[in-house]
A and B are shown apart, each in its own frame.
Chain A
Amino acid sequence: MAQEDFRWPAEGLARIPDWVYTSAAIYEREVERIFHGRTWNYVALEAEVPRPGDFRRSFVGPTPVVVARGADGAIAVFENRCAHRGSEFCQDNRGNAREFVCPYHQWTYDLAGRLVGVPFRRGVKGEGGMPASFRLEEHGPRRLAVTTRRGVVFASFAQGMEPLEEYLGPDILADFDATFDGRALKILGYYRNTVPANWKMYHENLKDPYHATLLHSYLVTFGLLVAGNKSAMIVDGNGRHGTMASARPDKVDVDAEARREMRAFHESLKLADPRILDYVREFRSPWSVTMQTIWPNMVVQRELNTLGTRQIVPKGPGEFLMIWTMFGYEGDSDEMTRHRLRQGNLMGPAGFLGLEDNEAMKFVQDGIRAARGGNAVVELGGDEEGTSEKLITEAAIRSLYRHWREVMEL
């Protein structure tokens, strides 16, 4: 499509045109303006790289990066791309190294991503080799700006980024700090999955409290979330981040009207082992569940006591990779760790909620892929935007697209 064809529907933010999810040109612009633009991108937890030399392979948008801790304890983030021919020189998802050596021609990088060695730089017996003008310091992978908060590492291709706290804004920061509350994190493990859908759908799904009681009948059936619960969809001042928050009721009491609306409600079904839904109150927060979307590539999951980060790695307009890092805290008892693991059955690509989200997003992408000129209807809650305490609203999605259109100039 030519530039002029990307015309937003006349209805404004009450519609989202299909091309935001399907166009390769739009995707390229997103990589440039969003992932490589003025954003803080989640890349790792410090607990994954506790010692000097520890590294983790990661991504900023679709771009492979390495997160490494130097001998001085500082964390560096740099492109996983050899300055010579462009190969992804770090191939292990995690590990410990003194330096990184590209396996192709053994160009060597230190833990900060600086090029420190080129074999046969002076040639053999004075013949061949690099020109005398070649300077190591003028070559090397792009090194990113890095910031950390409470053990969470973010990186940016942009220089002169505002501090993370300002980037998140006070309302988002409050719930972020409730999960990352100063206790040292203990990594419990990873899930990885692809989703054959546009990466923005993952944000939208977590800015859409409407779907929670309808798609996830598990939540409703077993009394974890019912329409009428105390809840909020919190949005930052720029409309890009969000916290979907709810406080679980002490007992399930769904009135007849709400029950009729939620076809999924099976009052007769009971869990044989209800421990999966136990909530140990361990957070300084009024919410028992907060699902945070940190623009552009992070989700912070605090679903009762099962905790994790999710990293969104876009792979083009129609697919993204999701990396889940599940964690608890150092000092958790064995029973608390097992409680987190049991509760982990709710989330992830085999989780009672997680698998349904992935399936639903696949259905949407399949539905719009072949279509031409279609729009999503985003009218719940009228034209309100920003934070809302209603469940049946799409205000946060409209806020996101106000921001997106501004950055994308569309």
Chain B
Amino acid sequence: MSGPAPAPPAAELLLRLEIEAFHGAYCAALDEGRIADWPRFFTLDALYRITARENEEAGLPVGLVYCEGRAMLEDRALALAKTEMFAPRYLRHYVSNVRVLGSDAGVISAAANYLVLQTLVDRPTTIHQAGRYHDRFVRDGGHLLLRERHCVYDTLVIDNALVLPV
């Protein structure tokens, strides 16, 4: 696909709004520190991966975070809440340029740009990560859930550590 897109039909606009509402709720959970809520945005069999753009473009499978299944997401949330040592910080996620790329057998493919701002309590705010979500949503009752989220970041050199999810 290239060039300007024609005006989308109303159903697609509605779907895009629904996905934007999903991103809003997802980011709110992370930005408000409700880490235990984060796995609930995923299906039981979800794949969640954060990887550098250089890996994605070279077809290399590694994940900075690589979770197969919601249980692994829950374990990460548990570890962050109970065992992990890191300096206090605030995060703010921004999601924009949401695009619905297609829908096949109930699986909706979508993508969006993201920006994560990080503020350590003794430093100025920094852009911690700029990247793109590559998502596959499914419907569960009235909700959208992520069956797959690949967070592909341009910020190849990470400033010290990526503590909280993207």
What is A's interface to B at a CB cutoff of 8 Å? 93-94, 187-196, 215, 217-218, 221, 264, 266, 269, 271-273, 276, 321, 326, 337-338, 341-342, 344-345, 348-350, 352, 354-356, 358-360, 362-363
Considering the complex, give the chain B residue whose CB is closest to the CB of A323: B157
CA distance A100 to B159 in the complex (A): 31
Which of A192, A272, A363 has a CB less than 8 Å from the CB of B52?
A: A192
Considering the complex, give the chain A residue whose CB is closest to the CB of B74: A272
CA distance A265 to B52 in the complex (A): 33
Q: Is the CB of A189 within 8 A of B55?
A: yes
User: Residues of A contacting B127 with CB < 8 Å?
Assistant: none
Which residues of B in the span 35-77 have a Cβ within 8 Å of any Cβ on A?
50-52, 54-55, 58, 60-69, 71-72, 74-76
User: Residues of B contacting A350 with CB < 8 Å?
Assistant: 50, 64-65, 158, 161-163
- Whether B78 sits at the interface, judged by CB under 8 Å, is yes
Chain B nearest Cβ from A120, distance in angstroms: 36
With A273-B71, A350-B50, A359-B160 as known contacts, state yes or no: A337 contacts B61, CB within 8 Å.
yes
User: Residues of B contacting A349 with CB < 8 Å?
Assistant: 64, 158, 160-162
Chain A nearest Cβ from B150, distance in angstroms: 13
Q: Is the CB of B72 within 8 A of A189?
A: no
User: Residues of B contacting A276 with CB < 8 Å?
Assistant: 72, 75
User: Residues of B contacting A358 with CB < 8 Å?
Assistant: 160-161
CA distance A338 to B60 in the complex (A): 12
Q: Is the CB of A342 within 8 A of B86?
A: no
Q: Is the CB of B82 within 8 A of A341?
A: no
Chain A nearest Cβ from B84, distance in angstroms: 6
CA distance A359 to B88 in the complex (A): 11
Q: A93-B54, A272-B71, A349-B158 are in contact. List 11 more A-B contacts (CB 8 A).
A: A190-B52, A191-B64, A192-B157, A194-B159, A196-B160, A341-B63, A342-B67, A345-B66, A345-B76, A362-B160, A363-B87
CA distance A359 to B67 in the complex (A): 23
Number of interface residues of B (CB under 8 A): 37
Considering the complex, give the chain A residue whose CB is closest to the CB of B122: A366
- Whether B107 sits at the interface, judged by CB under 8 Å, is no
User: Residues of A contacting B55 with CB < 8 Å?
Assistant: 189-190
- Whether B28 sits at the interface, judged by CB under 8 Å, is no
- Whether B14 sits at the interface, judged by CB under 8 Å, is no
Chain A nearest Cβ from B26, distance in angstroms: 18
Q: Is the CB of A355 within 8 A of B68?
A: no
Q: Is the CB of B79 within 8 A of A188?
A: no
- Whether B11 sits at the interface, judged by CB under 8 Å, is no
Q: Is the CB of B83 within 8 A of A221?
A: yes
- Whether B5 sits at the interface, judged by CB under 8 Å, is no
User: Residues of A contacting B65 with CB < 8 Å?
Assistant: 345, 350
Q: Is the CB of A356 within 8 A of B72?
A: no
| 12 residue pairs bridging A and B, Cβ less than 8 Å apart | A194-B157, A321-B157, A341-B66, A342-B72, A344-B66, A345-B67, A352-B79, A352-B83, A355-B86, A355-B163, A359-B87, A362-B160
- Whether B17 sits at the interface, judged by CB under 8 Å, is no
Which of A271, A272, A326, A355 has a CB less than 8 Å from the CB of B84?
A: A355
Chain A nearest Cβ from B160, distance in angstroms: 5
Chain B nearest Cβ from A224, distance in angstroms: 11
Q: Is the CB of A194 within 8 A of B160?
A: yes
Chain B nearest Cβ from A319, distance in angstroms: 10
Considering the complex, give the chain B residue whose CB is closest to the CB of A359: B86
Chain A nearest Cβ from B46, distance in angstroms: 12
With A93-B54, A271-B75, A350-B163 as known contacts, state yes or no: A188 contacts B60, CB within 8 Å.
yes
Q: Is the CB of B62 within 8 A of A190?
A: yes
